[in-house]
Amino acid sequence: MEEIAYHYQTEFSLEEEQKHTDWIIRVVEGFGLKTGELNFIFVSDEALLQMNQEYLSHDYFTDIITFEYEELEGVSGDLFISTDRVLENAEQMKCDFANEMRRVMVHGVLHLLGYQDKTKEQEQHMRKLEERALELFHVKHNRNV
């Protein structure tokens, strides 16, 4: 069963949730897979840092942490996103906040699809996949439900 949910633990709220949901589903289907249960949880820098320390033994800020639900069918998991970090990234890169948020969201989905970014080559490949996925956001698509 495909279900994408959005949870807000900050003042931020995603505009056009349904458009984002349809887009994420198209991205996953583009890899020949089905969407399972995805939870996008928008949190503060401090909350994500605490999770990074507690679960990954990393003591630094990050924009996203992804936890896969291996026991569920389809591409499933929790994607915790720091809205503070996304805003700072957008300012540093002089890009639109909404576009940077989508980039981070799809970055987490790509991790759930099995893509990594630990080496320079993997990181470059991930960026190309992110760019292709971002282009899909603005493509109108009619889904037969």
Q: Where are the domains of the chain?
A: 3-137
In tens, the pLDDT along 41-86 reads 999 999 999 998 998 888 888 999 999 998 888 999 999 999 999 9
**pLDDT of 145 over the 80 cut:** no
* Average pLDDT estimate for 7-17: 96
Q: How many residues are listed for the chain in this entry? A: 145
State which fold the 3-137 domain adopts: Collagenase (Catalytic Domain) (3.40.390)
**pLDDT of 27 over the 60 cut:** yes
In tens, the pLDDT along 93-144 reads 999 999 999 999 999 999 999 999 999 999 999 999 999 999 999 876 554 4
